[in-house]
Structure 1
Amino acid sequence: MKKAVIYWSGTGNTAAMASAIAAGMGEGTELYSVDQFTGDIAEYDKIAFGCPAMGDEVLEEGEFDPFFSSIEGKLGGKKVALFGSYGWGDGQWMRDWAERTTKTGANLYDDGLMVNGFPDADAKVQCTAFGEGFGAY
């Protein structure tokens, strides 16, 4: 089973979440920032995607959203988890992203994991647990 964590992070908050989630998912989990990923999404069975809320609670529009749009058609039947950090708002970007992901036919794990700002010690434990749960999903 091939598994990966693919994320975009502007300030390091979502990158810290990605590292903890990948650790929780276990051995063999590949970790990529979106600009480093050159593989074929079709080859992966489980993928955790990470992106913070930007602007008016949307996905990052320069790199992440174009990447996600380009691979949406390959997510059907795959196990997918979503996560990201935010600074304000109520999580509308995560609800919209979860709905968008479900429409692809992906098997969405949980409702997505959101952390306000940089993940402190408690949030890192939560991220690792999220990764463990997704790894077992």
Structure 2
Amino acid sequence: MKKVSVIYWSGTGNTQKMAEAIAEGASLDGVAVSLISVDKASHEDVLNSNALALGCPSMGDEALEEEEMEPFIHSLEGENLAGKPLALFGSYDWGDGQWMRDWTERMKNQGAALVDNGLIIQSTPDDAGEAKCKELGAKLASAAR
């Protein structure tokens, strides 16, 4: 059975809502989906998955959350992510998405195979935003190898 891990950090619940919709979209026949808060995630969750979604809102000066998500992402550097299907997502309140462009470039440099551009949604996802999240989840599940 193919495994998809959706690992996220959420401060206000907006990115968690995105994660839940991505997990729902990835729940296709024959795909087991794990929805995991980053404080409970492990390297095994990443390495044992056939595809991976990582979510974090924009924080401060358009950066990843510094206490849990940034250390987790940093700890993945050096792991073999070559060719692993990956989706990035997160919510934001202001700015133009620079944190997502930086994160996308960083993960490409790790060899991950991004299935789409990083999905960003301002504040709480509405129905259209949730639909985009579900589409991203389905695309990720289809790319799982």
TM-score range, shorter chain: over 0.9
- Of the three residues 32, 35, 48, the one matched with 2:36 is 32
Q: Are 2:116 and 1:110 equivalent residues in the alignment? A: yes
CA distance in 1, matches of 2:104, 2:136: 16
Q: Distance in 1 between matches of 2:43 and 2:36?
A: 10
| Paired residues, number | 137
1:92-103 alignment, distance < 5 Å = 92-103=98-109
Q: Which amino acid aligns with 2:109?
A: K
Number of the residue aligned with 1:66 = 71
Tell which deviates more after alignment, 34-43 or 73-82. 34-43
State the one-letter code of the partner of 2:117: D
TM-score in terms of structure 1 length: 0.95
CA-atom RMSD in angstroms: 1.1
Cross-structure match for 1:77 = 83
Find the residue that maps to 2:110 and give its secondary structure: coil
Structure 1, unpaired ranges of 5+: none
For structure 2, the residue ranges without an aligned partner over 5 or more in a row are none
**Identity among equivalent pairs (%):** 50
Q: Extract structure 1 runs of 4+ deviating beyond 2 A.
A: none
Residues 2-40 of structure 1 show CA distances to partners (whole Å, capped at 9, x for unaligned) of: 210000000000000000000001141100010122351
> Which letter does structure 2 place at the counterpart of 1:124?
E
- For 1:3, the equivalent position in structure 2 comes to 4
